[in-house]
Amino acid sequence: MGTLLQVKGLRTRFYTQDGVVNAVNGIDFSVDEGETLGIVGESGCGKSVSVLSVMRLIPQPPGRIVGGEVWFGGRDLLRVDEAEMRQVRGNKIAMVFQDPMTSLNPVLTINQQVSEALQLHLGMDKAQARKRAIELLEMVNIPRAADRIDDYPHQFSGGMRQRVMIAMGLSCSPQLLIADEPTTALDVTIQAQILDIVKRLKRELGMAIIWITHDLGVVAGLAERVIVMYAGYVIEHAEVKDLYADPRHPYTLGLLRSIPRLDAERKAKLTPIDGLPPDLIDMPPGCPFAPRCAYAIERCLVENPQLETVARRHQVACWVDVTSGRD
Amino acid sequence: MPQDETMAVQSSSTQSSDRVLLEVRGLKMWFPITQGLILQRRVGDIRAVDGLDFFIRRGETLGLVGESGCGKSTTGRAILQLYRPTAGQVLFEGTDLTRLRGEALRRMRRRMQMIFQDPYASLNPRMTVGNIVGEPLEVHNIGKPEERRQRVQELLEVVGLNPYFVNRYPHEFSGGQRQRIGVARALAVNPDFIVCDEPISALDVSIQAQIINLLEELQDKFGLTYLFIAHDLSVVRHISDRVAVMYLGKIVELTTRDELYSNPLHPYTKALLSAVPIPDPVVEEKRQRIILEGDVPSPANPPSGCRFRTRCGLRMDICAEVEPEWRETAADHWVACHRV
């Protein structure tokens, strides 16, 4: 399968009153056609800013993409004009946001909102768009879609609104769907419904997905490849099974150890990661994780490691081999 | 002794060596729905909590899980009398809190505290950390100002903060540190019982474990009893001795931690457990999920009979007609389901 999206050396900063926030610090990643890539990290690690930069949806000012390339369909999206970018957004690449409560317009009906992209990008007339909108809502399991399409968002529950958002994302059959924590605001049983729908749609429609989350459980069941971000850097990249079976970065290792698992033997005590993530305005020299890292050596404090390949399709940015001494 | 009185009304299976600290009987918390501006007519009720019976033993952690809107936070608040319950009793060492008023209630409140979900909203941004943590001492008239200052510094140390932070303001702290301040405030009056209302759900994954470990250490150190309210079943399993599962204002199942996770009886508990993602791709690949149909019905108009029946894959005719009885099917295993 060919590469659909290739991001190289992406750098995004925010120029605020308090100083320059180094949100994304030169990251590389790619997504193949039909593949699901998970991006994992905690709040402030730059995972949302990365994909918003890809879509060129960073508010400027205060934000600015200061470097890098985003290759999609033979073009560098960071260098095309705004009119061309509008042809990509919502059409070739669609996005689903975290909060289904605020991402829908409360004064427009569901029909008006789902039809908009169909009329805009696919040139359908109102009647065609409405018919297609009903089909899309049925595809995401909205019961009695034909009756409910003229409802307003407040008449829908949180899970149904998120399904509407997904239907809107799918409306122009995008090649890539970017989902930014789409199930974080939802209850687990509703999350299970949404994940079920997404897996089915991916099978049926064959689109690629970037799924952003802080939940290592959700990624495990959904993604084929995963990148882990910390303080605006990609610190580990691996195929999903390798990442969980053989994590190589102390941060990934720490995350996996710090969460209680429903299916594992109950531990007397959790192993937290001490300390706090670094201040992105005043970044420490060296590895950003070094101040919290149990494996840190002197070199970590002065020199920031680059991503290096350590196994097949497995890259880590760390000076220390955490596997040494392991069986 | 008041504890012995509570013991007498307990279920036969409860071992007599276990001391009950808190018992809830038939607890209901309804909120009126009104219509009209000046002449408000009551046109219905949101039945947020609709008849709960359970007890919490001294020194244990009872986990209360359920999805948003199921009434778990309302339960915590109704127990502490932050809402006055519509019906039912809340017996704290045998004293019915729902009957207490004024000074008598205030005195009991010293023994029960709360840790809130949102560490950004639950600390007054205009107060220093010292004043926030010391306020309960002032309210309850404990100690002289100098003693209070000392106590506040001790408390900060206990929760893992630098005692020199007393003059700082909440905005100078991270989420995890703020939650530690909230914990210190709850501990200030030396309570017996703490309601932890989703204390970690607003925190980042790497910070959550720090707070969980802190809560466990404090429990050991001070013999605290927790009602731990959360929606994350993995966390609840880790911290609880027993777990209650709530759905639409009712507890549907309550049992020991190990029993609940190894032998869940209620269809809702089973669905809930199967929906929790497990951070292991090999396990995830093989797992069978029970996908529930539809959404949670409105608590203003709950389904007749069993409230879960509209989403239940095992429903029978009787489920629409008769509300399932809350009964103990095995020692310390309570469930309300016609199928069990």
pLDDT of residue A107: 93
- CB B205 to CB A240 under 8 A? no
Separation of alpha carbons B200 and B239, rounded Å:
12
Q: Out of B234, B283, B285, whose CB is closest to A259? A: B234
Are residues A248 and A230 in contact, defined by beta-carbon separation less than 8 angstroms? no
Are residues B211 and B179 in contact, defined by beta-carbon separation less than 8 angstroms? yes
CA geometry: angle B249, B255, B260, nearest 5 deg: 100
* Mutation for B interface: A142, A235, A259, A289, most B CBs within 10 A: A259
How many CA atoms lie within 13 Å of B320's alpha carbon, on the beta-carbon side? 5
pLDDT digits (tens, 9 = 90+) for B133-169: 999 999 999 989 999 999 999 999 999 999 988 999 9
Q: What is the mean pLDDT of residues B27-44?
A: 88
Among A185, A182, A212, A184, residue whose Cα is nearest residue A197:
A182
- CB A220 to CB B234 under 8 A? no
pLDDT of residue B18: 63
**Dihedrals phi, psi of A8, to nearest 5 degrees:** -130, 125
Separation of alpha carbons A58 and B118, rounded Å:
28
Q: Chain B: residue nearest A185 by CA?
A: B68
Are residues B48 and B71 in contact, defined by beta-carbon separation less than 8 angstroms? yes
Are residues B136 and B155 in contact, defined by beta-carbon separation less than 8 angstroms? no
Residue in this structure with the two tokens 């309300």, named with its chain if needed: B336
Separation of alpha carbons B297 and B266, rounded Å:
18
Whether residue B10 is predicted with pLDDT greater than 70 in this model: the reply is no
Separation of alpha carbons B17 and A322, rounded Å:
48
Q: CA–CA distance from B226 to each of B22, B193, B205 (Å)?
A: 11, 6, 22
Tokens of B229: 């309210």
Tokens of A159: 């899970």
**Dihedrals phi, psi of B270, to nearest 5 degrees:** -60, -45
Separation of alpha carbons B243 and A216, rounded Å:
24
Burial status of residue B169 (CB atoms within 10 A of its CB: 0-12, 13-18, 19 or more): middle
Q: Give the gap in angstroms from C-alpha A178 to the nearest C-alpha of chain B.
A: 20
- In 10 A of CB B268, how many CB atoms? 26
Whether residue B8 is predicted with pLDDT greater than 70 in this model: the reply is no
Q: What pTM does this model have?
A: 0.86
- pLDDT tier at B34, thresholds 50, 70, 90: confident
Q: Out of A192, A261, A269, whose CB is closest to B275? A: A192
pLDDT of residue A307: 92
**Helix (H, G, I), strand (E, B), or coil: what is residue A15?**
strand
Spell out the domain ranges in chain B.
2-35+44-111+191-272
Residue in this structure with the two tokens 């989350």, named with its chain if needed: A213
For residue A50, give the H/E element and its range: helix A47-54
- CB A188 to CB B292 under 8 A? no
Tokens of A164: 């509407």
Provide the Cα torsion B331, B335, B336, B338; round to 10°.
Answer: -80
pLDDT digits (tens, 9 = 90+) for B218-274: 999 999 999 999 988 999 999 999 999 999 999 999 999 999 999 999 999 999 999
- CB A263 to CB B283 under 8 A? yes
Q: Which amino acid is located at A206 in the chain?
A: G
Q: Which residues of A touch B238 (CB under 8 A)?
A: 260, 266-267, 270
Residue in this structure with the two tokens 């309804």, named with its chain if needed: B30
Render each residue's pLDDT in chain A as its tens digit; 327 residues: 689 999 999 999 999 988 899 999 999 999 999 999 999 998 889 999 999 999 999 988 899 999 999 999 899 999 999 999 988 988 899 998 877 778 889 999 999 999 988 998 888 999 999 999 999 898 888 888 898 999 999 888 877 888 898 888 888 889 999 999 888 877 888 888 888 888 888 888 889 999 999 889 999 999 999 999 999 999 999 999 999 999 999 999 999 988 888 887 877 788 888 888 888 888 888 999 999 998 999 999 999 999 999 988 999 999 998 887 554
Q: CA–CA distance from B34 to each of A53, B31, B38, B43 (Å)?
A: 48, 10, 11, 6
Span B2-35+44-111+191-272: which CATH code?
Answer: 3.40.50.300
Task: Give me the residues of B, 200-259, that contact A with CB < 8 A.
Answer: 204-210, 212-213, 216, 231, 233-235, 237-238, 257
